[in-house]
Structure formats: C-alpha cells, structure tokens
Structure 1
Amino acid sequence: MWPVFWTVVRTYAPYVTFPVAFVVGAVGYHLEWFIRGKDPQPVEEEKSISERREDRKLDELLGKDHTQVAGMRL
C-alpha cells in the first residue's frame, strides 16, 4: 500500500503544493501589511557604491593643494 501511496503523492505533488504555497504567500503578504500599517513610508534612495567612491575621491581632491608638485629624484 505504501508504494502506491508514494506514487500518487509524487505524481500529484505539483497540483497540491502550488495552491498551498499560494495561500501561504497571500496570508504572509497580508499579515505583513497588517503589521506594518497601511501607509508605506517613502524609501530614500541610497547612493551606489561607485557614487560614494566618486564623492570620497572628490573630497580628497578638494583638500589637496595642486600647485605643489612632488619633485623628481635621480
């Protein structure tokens, strides 16, 4: 009897798991919105890593005196 049961479960698993996953996802989605509240707060855009790097390099350049050049050693 067990081999027949496992064959049926394996055969019809996609038809059972999708509705169950859909219901669990929908309940979780609505539960999250219930806990958070109705009005989502706007998310401030965060600068990317490359933008932060460029800003840091510009700040370093602003702090230097570009009229002073290192001399060559022979």
Structure 2
Amino acid sequence: YGMDFMKANGKQSRKIFKITENTYKQGIHSFSRKHSFIDMSTRKHYEGKHCITIIVNGDEMANVSFMVKR
C-alpha cells in the first residue's frame, strides 16, 4: 500500500509499504495492517489531508483520504 503523508510545506509525499509478496489464486483475499502515526526521527507527521492507496501488482486499486489533527 502507499501512504501519502502531508509534508511541512503543504505538499504530499508517498511512501510505499509492502504487506505481502506471494502468488494467490483468483478470488477474494483479506489482509489487515496497522499503521502508527507516532513521530520518529525519520518521519514527522503534520496536520492535514493524508491518503492511503491499495496497490496490487503496481496498479492502484482503491484509495481513501483522511484528515490528521493534533
């Protein structure tokens, strides 16, 4: 999945995270993942619109936006 984080300058920056790499038979598959929004030395989170995108085989399948407030 890809997460578009709000930067200090108001623009968004995408970071790609891998859930799994495997071969699956055709059909519906379910996955779950938690994502922490705790500030780290390598990433600070800013208020504003963030977006998460589900990416399958390099194709964006779905996305949703949400607001982060302090």
TM-score relative to the length of structure 2: 0.18
Instruction: Pick the structure with greater CA Rg.
Output: 1
TM-score relative to the length of structure 1: 0.18
Looking at secondary structure, tell me which structure has more helix per residue: 1
Looking at secondary structure, tell me which structure has more strand per residue: 2
